[in-house]
Amino acid sequence: MNYEVVVTCAVTGAGDTTGKHPGVPVTPKQVADAAIEAAKAGAAVAHCHVRDPETGQGSRDPELFKEVVDRIRSADTDVVINLTAGMGGDWVPDEANPAMPGPGTDMIGPAERLAHVEMLKPEICSLDCGTLNFGNGNEIYISTPPYLREMARLVQSWGVKPELEVFELGHIRFAKQLIAEGLIDAPPMFQICLGIPWGADQDVDTMKVMKDQLPDGASWASFGISRMQMPMAAVATVMGGNVRVGLEDNIYLDRGVLATNGQLVERAVEIIERLGARAVTPAEARSKLGLRGG
């Protein structure tokens, strides 16, 4: 049981949710406002993607990230900033010539994937620890061992804590190899990502199996998607972990009721408190997670 829980709010993501929920943040101001809203509701960490303000599609434009971060840092509400570094690994084979990239491909190298992290030096950035099929289309997310080693080396040199996002057991195995090679500073920080098609399923047994494979001394959190977001938040707390909620992973508060990020954080905090625990402050999270200045 974890009695002092770090709540992360993933406020927008890069998925096709804007057509399903008009409240999903799109512009840099909306993303920053959502992070601040989440912090006021009890989140210690805001996990931020950016989107093209014109199309609403996920973007990796460093200037959009800069506006988001500047707005959050200039606010009077403290929150730990966690920026995605997961963009730039999408590969869709061309239907006529599968050896070539088709529409929807966005494949770049390690340094370019981290351009915004180098510019802004957030306290945390994500590091997706392997390749994965996403959904039922031809899209695959590619993150190879050499790319991951270079990305780990870079964020380590900048003093940014990598959040090791693991979608299946092989990802944990490789993350432990990065730790063994000295590319991840102690204490390592893991995010067990459940329910993403086609990664690990979102259930109690799967979370326990993945949690049990983490190295000694690691901090960890977990999340489920859609209707399993809150059940997995409760399970993570009981198993000794931290939790993540937010519109990136689930757009509903209740069946048929669209949520805000603040409402999802409030619901998670209520669950945590009913279990006899509490959500920690950003300052406490910095200390607990081993962040710079913590």
| Run of H or E including 154 | helix 145-158
**Is the omega angle on the peptide bond into residue 198 within 30 degrees of 0, that is, cis?**
yes
- Asked whether the beta carbons of 54 and 98 are under 8 A apart, the reply is no
Check pLDDT > 90 for residue 17: yes
Check pLDDT > 70 for residue 294: no
Q: What is the mean pLDDT of residues 93-100?
A: 95
Query: How confident is the prediction for the chain on average, in pLDDT?
Result: 97
Q: What is the mean pLDDT of residues 31-36?
A: 98
Tokens representing 215? 């190295």
Name residues whose C-beta falls within 8 Å of residue 168's C-beta, 6 or more positions apart in sequence.
130, 132, 199, 200
- Asked whether the beta carbons of 57 and 51 are under 8 A apart, the reply is yes
Show the domains of the chain with their CATH numbers.
Answer: 4-289 (3.20.20.70)
Q: What is the mean pLDDT of residues 7-31?
A: 96
Check pLDDT > 90 for residue 73: yes
Tokens representing 273? 């408190």
Measure the CA dihedral 22/259/206/221, to 10°.
100
- Asked whether the beta carbons of 244 and 215 are under 8 A apart, the reply is no
Check pLDDT > 90 for residue 293: no
Name residues whose C-beta falls within 8 Å of residue 10's C-beta, 6 or more positions apart in sequence.
47, 223, 244, 245, 246, 247, 248, 249
Nearest to 127 by CA among 145, 151, 158: 151
Return the pLDDT at 134.
87
Q: How far apart are CA 127 and CA 87, in angstroms?
A: 10
Q: Percentage helix, strand, coil, to 5, in the chain? A: 35, 20, 45
Percent of the chain with pLDDT over 90: 97
Q: How far apart are CA 87 and CA 78, in angstroms?
A: 26
Judge residue 139's burial from the number of C-beta atoms within 10 Å of its C-beta, 0-12 exposed, 13-18 middle, 19 or more buried. middle
- Per-residue pLDDT tens over the stretch 154-168: 999 999 999 999 999
- Per-residue pLDDT tens over the stretch 37-71: 999 999 999 999 999 999 999 999 999 999 999 99
